[in-house]
């Protein structure tokens, strides 16, 4: 027959012209090149005769064209008949397979979805160019499996999406474009999609360079060269706006669930179930069981049970009540699926479905039906677990009125059956209304059949509930971990911490509103709100928009004040009848349920109140919501407390920095003082008797001590050895003097006298040959700095008073660590670093030696190490060549120089003893007045007459053993031993005189 006169081909060709005109008629000149309509005479021979077999072969060779044609013109009932036929036969032809199967290629086969590419199974295909006509090649689009497509077609009535399949060469996956031409093609292929993307998103299979392009046309303008294509591709990308890339933290990726979704078994169509019912009731029952066996989604399972029970019972309406909600009520949600063949949608709904509209989108949302356990017929069945079957229901009876009120239907016959789990607990109730069976009433056989099927339903519901609980628990733990992560990540801004916590709480509790109110003063009698954070249910770009109000006023309702005053959490299920809530304050919002909880700080003080309003599902908040929200309030309290602490610490650090700047300015010597010391004449060592152990500690004035100290460093050659600038040395000495406080004894004079004794030891004993110049420098500097910034109190007082120094350095060698750090601070000040010209190794060594030297002046530490020294003395085992022995000796030398006042001539010793006891008594007065404790005898002013006895005990227990051991290793230090013995004898005489006076006074 003539090809053109062949009615199928003529119809197809005319349809193709119609499709082409519809697609390309309104394209702008900026879009891809329009393919002109080709005259029929240029593409075929009108005298050519083609058989029906050849037409079929050509259609098989061009499945993409056939796919477009079917999607455009096929009727819904035609597709449904084809699906039913394929369900029975299980056969799929190459052409029809292209409609519901993924696009495949020859080598690396891929299924192309909107916005990306996923791998698919390899399947061999055959293709050849069309001998009749040539059409523009389209790219592949979204695909679904045949089973899921059948379900969509049978349930929703939407048109099927399609894919294309070529043989031999597979066109590359075209990126989505903003071109109107391709938008029309997208609409034709994916009409069932409510929204589809039009942006060129980067995917794993997306084209990024011309080298990745496989041969094959990409658009109607594929006759242009590759550069033209790339330019148009970039133009399309620039003209479309991709969605915002949401930030996904590493924690969110780490916590990503391994279960992407609940296992879901696609339901077979109602028509198939009906055919099975009429053909084989046993197979029909097994099909209904299999339909629910692998579905762990509660809502989907509820729909399936409702539909299957309706088919099984030939019921007009079925309602499935599942045990859920705050008080374990039984809740039935409206179903959009007809229960049985006798059920019909209203005419206006049928018309909407015939046009492809959604029933849910065009009908008012129905509220779920809630039945309390034990109330009414359904509640009694749930409580007792017994079935209720009423063959003929009397109009006006209690059961009739209950069913009519709950479900808005007039029942004639009902069957109410409990759904039980494996432990025989009632988890739901199935209410079946009006049957179309024999006698139009339910029989005992119907009751047994329903009981059998509901047994399987109970198992499936239990599995789904367990899965749902585990997923909720996972989601809860994930959200709480994310909240903890947010708290550690953001501690600088109070507003950000509270708002992040509120957003997490709202997203997990699924509430309409969330608020946090901070209390101005937790200890005030009247509750005053300082800040109010409010997060409503309005979303913008997927995020709720928080609001912040700063105010000083009363709480908005009595609930807030009640929670602040009592510290109790409040869960209100009926706010409308609660007199504590001010309904006039917010008339635009109806409060249906509320949870209000206190927010506490680390001292358990209530610093705020958090509340959530109205669950999105309409139910009141339950105990699980309370527990979860309580966890959020704990995290919120921690976050607020940490932020407040961080703010205080930041302010304290800033204040400290300012204070250090001020102190450093006033504690540093000025240039005039430096210039005066720099040009001053340094004294003679012998004239001042600086090398003598009996040097008079009170013989020099303050400026004279500075010049004498400078002379010691010059005499030892330390300035030349370590290239210490003379001006830097002068400035450092002046600043050291300024940083000693004017206390009775531990002042700059004491530091100078200790350094003088060390200088005398170095000059008289010959130990300089055993000590390096760096060690000598560290000993001299350590002596002058060992009591820097002394406050006139000892370590025990710092610990008792919990002073800032004790908190900073701890209870061991508190003041000594402070002295060292203060010395380091002065060295780090500009123009004061006398170690500046040392190498890095020398600098590290001298700082370690300096720290050991200063720390060793702590008598508590001395008492721990002195036994080792005494053992070496007794056994003559001391050796300067051993580093640990030398390090131990340097520490003993620091202690000996620090206690050298006990070796001075008696007049000097007696004067120093008065200064020391005066400082000790001042500390005792502070302990009695500030700490409310009684001081020890040495610090008690009331026992000043016992000074000689206390001095004897101090010399015998501390001083004498040190100088005895030192004299054995270094005999030239024997004058110090003799001096301490002579002073001990003087104190003994004074003590004897005191005893005699005391004895005579007692008589």
- The β-bridge relationship of strands 606-615 and 511-519 is antiparallel
Question: Average pLDDT over the chain, rounded to whole?
Answer: 75
- Encoded tokens for 578: 């609660």
What would the pLDDT profile of 720-768 be if each residue is shown by its tens digit? 999 999 999 999 999 999 999 999 999 999 999 999 999 999 999 999 9
Residue 728: predicted pLDDT:
96
What pLDDT is attached to residue 218? Answer: 39
Q: What are the CA-CA distances from residue 871 to residues 359, 770, 965 (Å)? A: 99, 21, 10
**Whole-number pLDDT of residue 210:** 37
pLDDT of the residue at 836: 95
What would the two tokens of residue 803 be? Answer: 């002073």
Residue 662 has pLDDT above 60, yes or no: yes
Length of the chain (residues): 1003
pLDDT given for residue 848 in this prediction = 96
Instruction: Tell me what pLDDT residue 545 has.
Output: 55
- Reported as a single tens digit per residue, the pLDDT across 89-147 is 554 444 344 334 433 333 333 333 333 333 333 433 333 333 333 333 333 333 333 34
H-helix or E-strand spanning residue 571: strand 570-572
At 587, is the secondary structure helix, strand, or coil? coil
**Other Cβ atoms within 10 Å of 745 Cβ, number:** 19
pLDDT digits (tens, 9 = 90+) for 551-589: 656 777 778 888 888 888 888 887 777 777 766 666 667
pLDDT band at 684 (very low <50, low <70, confident <90, very high): very high
Assign 480 a pLDDT band (cuts: 50, 70, 90): confident
Nearest to 722 by CA among 674, 768, 778, 765: 778
The whole-angstrom separation of Cα 999 and Cα 39 is 143
- Please say whether the beta carbons of 306 and 318 come within 8 A: yes
Indicate if the pLDDT at residue 355 is higher than 80: no
Going by pLDDT thresholds of 50, 70 and 90, the confidence category of residue 975 is very high
Return the pLDDT at 695: 96
Of 638, 406, 699, 670, the residue nearest 500 (C-alpha)? 638
Average pLDDT over residues 811-819: 92
**Nearest to residue 678, comparing CAs of 824, 831, 828?**
831
CA distance 781 to 822: 13
* Residue indicated by tokens 């004067």: 911
Cβ(535)–Cβ(568) below 8 Å: no
pLDDT band at residue 192 using 50, 70 and 90 as cut-offs: very low
Question: Which residues make beta-bridge pairs with 516?
Answer: 533, 610
Confidence (pLDDT) at 144: 35
- Residues taking part in catalysis: 746
What are phi and psi for residue 707, nearest 5 degrees? -65, -35
Over residues 511-536, mean pLDDT = 82
- Which residue is associated with the tokens 């670093």? 833
Predicted confidence band of residue 216 (pLDDT cuts 50, 70, 90): very low
Instruction: Supply the pLDDT for residue 438.
Output: 56
What is the per-residue pLDDT for 517? 87
376, 388 contact by CB (below 8 A): no
**Residue 599, SS3 per DSSP:** strand
DSSP assignment string, 668-723: SPPHHHHHHHHHSPPPPHHHHTTT-TT--TTSS-HHHHHHHHHHHHHHTTHHHHTT
Contacts 24+ apart (CB under 8 A), 642-650: 642/487, 642/491, 642/497, 643/491, 643/492, 643/493, 643/494, 643/497, 644/494, 644/601, 646/491, 646/492, 647/494
**Cα separation values, 631 from 479, 484, 554, 604, 637, Å:** 11, 11, 26, 15, 10
Per-residue pLDDT tens digits for 538-553: 443 344 555 665 565 6
User: Per mean pLDDT, which of 78-92, 132-146, 401-415 is the most reliable?
Assistant: 401-415
User: How is the chain split among helix, strand and coil, in percent rounded to 5?
Assistant: 55, 10, 35
Q: What is the pTM of this model?
A: 0.50
Lowest mean pLDDT among 61-65, 294-298, 329-333, 354-358: 354-358
**Three-class SS state of 400:** helix
Cα–Cα distance, 898 to 895 (Å, whole number): 5
The H or E element spanning position 611 is strand 606-615
Q: What is the pLDDT of residue 506?
A: 82
For residue 174, what pLDDT is reported?
A: 43
In this structure, how many other beta carbons lie within 10 angstroms of the beta carbon of residue 119?
Answer: 12
pLDDT digits (tens, 9 = 90+) for 621-632: 887 788 888 888
Percent above pLDDT 70 for the chain: 69
- Percentage of the chain surpassing pLDDT 90? 32
The pLDDT of residue 107 is 39
Alpha-carbon distances, residue 762 vs 696, 755, 890 (angstroms): 18, 11, 11
CA 782 to chain centre: 49
């Amino acid at each position: 027959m003539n090809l053109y006169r062949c009615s199928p081909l003529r119809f197809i060709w005319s349809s193709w012209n119609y499709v082409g005109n519809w697609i390309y008629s309104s394209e702008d000149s900026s879009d891809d090149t329009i393919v002109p309509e080709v005259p029929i005479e240029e593409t075929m021979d009108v005298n050519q005769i083609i058989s029906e077999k050849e037409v079929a072969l050509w259609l098989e060779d061009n499945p993409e064209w056939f796919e477009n044609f079917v999607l455009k013109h096929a009727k819904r009932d035609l597709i449904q008949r084809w699906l039913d036929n394929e369900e029975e036969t299980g056969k799929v032809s190459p052409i029809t397979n292209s409609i519901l199967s993924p696009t495949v290629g020859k080598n690396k086969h891929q299924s192309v979805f909107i916005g990306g590419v996923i791998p698919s199974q390899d399947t061999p295909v055959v293709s050849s160019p069309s001998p009749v006509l040539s059409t523009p090649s389209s790219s592949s689009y979204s695909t679904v499996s045949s089973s899921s497509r059948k379900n969509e077609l049978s349930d929703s009535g939407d048109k099927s999406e399609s894919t294309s399949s070529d043989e031999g060469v597979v066109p590359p996956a075209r990126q989505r474009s903003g071109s109107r031409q391709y938008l029309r093609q997208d609409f034709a292929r994916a009409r069932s999609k409510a929204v589809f993307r039009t942006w060129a998103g980067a995917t794993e299979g997306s084209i990024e360079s011309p080298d990745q392009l496989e041969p094959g046309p990409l658009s109607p303008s594929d006759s242009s060269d590759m550069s033209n294509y790339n330019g148009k591709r970039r133009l399309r990308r620039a003209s479309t706006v991709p969605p915002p890339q949401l930030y996904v933290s590493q924690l969110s990726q780490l916590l990503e669930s391994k279960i992407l979704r609940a296992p879901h078994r696609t339901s077979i169509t109602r028509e198939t179930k009906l055919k099975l019912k009429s053909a084989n009731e046993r197979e029909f029952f097994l099909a209904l069981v299999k339909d629910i066996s692998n579905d762990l989604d509660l809502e989907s399972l509820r729909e399936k049970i409702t539909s299957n029970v309706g088919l099984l019972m030939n019921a007009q309406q079925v309602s499935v009540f599942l045990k859920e909600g705050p008080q374990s009520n039984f809740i039935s949600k409206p179903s959009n699926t007809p229960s049985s063949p006798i059920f019909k949608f209203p005419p206006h709904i049928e018309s909407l479905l015939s046009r492809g509209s959604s029933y849910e989108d065009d009908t008012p949302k129905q509220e779920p039906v809630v039945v309390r356990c034990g109330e009414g017929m359904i509640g009694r069945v749930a409580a007792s677990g017994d079935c209720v079957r009423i063959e003929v229901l009397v109009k006006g009876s209690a059961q009739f009125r209950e069913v009519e009120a709950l479900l808005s239907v007039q029942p004639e016959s009902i069957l109410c059956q409990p759904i039980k789990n494996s432990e025989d607990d009632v988890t739901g109730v199935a209410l079946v209304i009006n049957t179309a069976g024999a006698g139009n009433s339910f029989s005992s056989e119907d009751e047994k059949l329903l009981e059998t099927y509901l047994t399987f339903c109970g198992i499936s519901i239990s599995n789904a509930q367990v899965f749902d609980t585990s997923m909720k628990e996972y989601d809860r733990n994930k959200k709480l971990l994310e909240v903890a992560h947010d708290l550690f990540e953001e501690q600088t801004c109070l507003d950000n911490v509270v708002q992040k916590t509120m957003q997490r709480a709202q997203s997990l509790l699924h509430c309409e509103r969330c608020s946090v109110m901070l209390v101005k003063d937790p200890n005030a009698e009247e509750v005053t709100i300082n800040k109010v954070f409010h997060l409503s249910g309005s979303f913008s770009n997927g995020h709720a928009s928080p609001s912040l109000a700063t105010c000083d006023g009363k709480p908005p309702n009595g609930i807030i004040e009640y929670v602040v005053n009592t510290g109790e959490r409040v869960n209100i299920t009926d706010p409308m009848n609660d007199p504590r809530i001010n309904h006039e304050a917010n008339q635009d919002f109806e409060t249906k349920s509320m949870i209000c909880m206190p927010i506490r700080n680390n001292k358990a003080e209530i610093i705020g109140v958090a509340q959530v309003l109205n669950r999105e599902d309409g139910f009141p908040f339950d105990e699980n919501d309370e527990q979860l929200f309580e966890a959020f309030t704990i995290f919120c309290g921690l976050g607020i407390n940490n932020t407040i602490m961080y703010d205080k610490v930041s302010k304290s650090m800033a204040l400290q920095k300012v204070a250090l700047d001020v102190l450093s300015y006033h504690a540093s010597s000025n240039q005039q003082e430096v210039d005066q010391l720099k040009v001053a004449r340094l004294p003679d060592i012998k004239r001042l008797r600086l090398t003598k152990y009996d040097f008079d500690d009170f013989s020099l004035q303050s400026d004279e001590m500075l010049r004498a100290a400078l002379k010691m460093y010059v005499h030892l050659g330390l300035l030349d050895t370590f290239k210490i600038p003379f001006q830097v040395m002068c400035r450092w000495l002046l600043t050291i003097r300024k940083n000693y406080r004017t206390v009775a004894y531990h002042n700059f004079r004491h530091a100078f006298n200790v350094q003088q004794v060390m200088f005398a030891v170095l000059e008289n004993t010959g130990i300089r040959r055993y000590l390096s110049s760096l060690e000598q420098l560290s000993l001299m500097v350590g002596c002058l700095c060992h009591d820097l910034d002394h406050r006139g109190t000892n370590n025990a007082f710092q610990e008792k008073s919990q002073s800032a120094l004790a908190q900073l350095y701890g209870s061991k060698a508190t003041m000594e660590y402070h002295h060292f750090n203060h010395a380091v601070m002065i060295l780090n000040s500009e123009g004061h670093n006398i170690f500046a010209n040392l190498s890095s190794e020398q600098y590290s060594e001298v700082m370690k030696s300096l720290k050991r030297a200063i720390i060793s002046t702590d008598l508590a530490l001395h008492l721990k190490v002195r036994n080792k020294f005494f053992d070496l003395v007794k056994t003559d085992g001391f050796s300067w060549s051993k580093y640990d022995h030398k390090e131990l000796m340097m520490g003993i030398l620091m202690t000996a120089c620090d206690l050298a006042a006990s070796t001075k001539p008696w007049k000097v010793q007696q004067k120093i003893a008065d200064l020391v006891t005066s400082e000790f008594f001042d500390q005792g007065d502070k302990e009695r007045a500030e700490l409310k404790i009684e001081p020890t005898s040495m610090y008690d002013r009331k026992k000043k007459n016992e000074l000689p006895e206390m001095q004897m005990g101090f010399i015998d227990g501390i001083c004498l053993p040190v100088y005895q051991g030192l004299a054995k290793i270094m005999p030239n230090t024997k004058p110090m031993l003799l001096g301490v013995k002579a002073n001990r004898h003087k104190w003994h005489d004074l003590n004897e005189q005191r005893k005699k006076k005391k004895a005579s006074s007692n008589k």
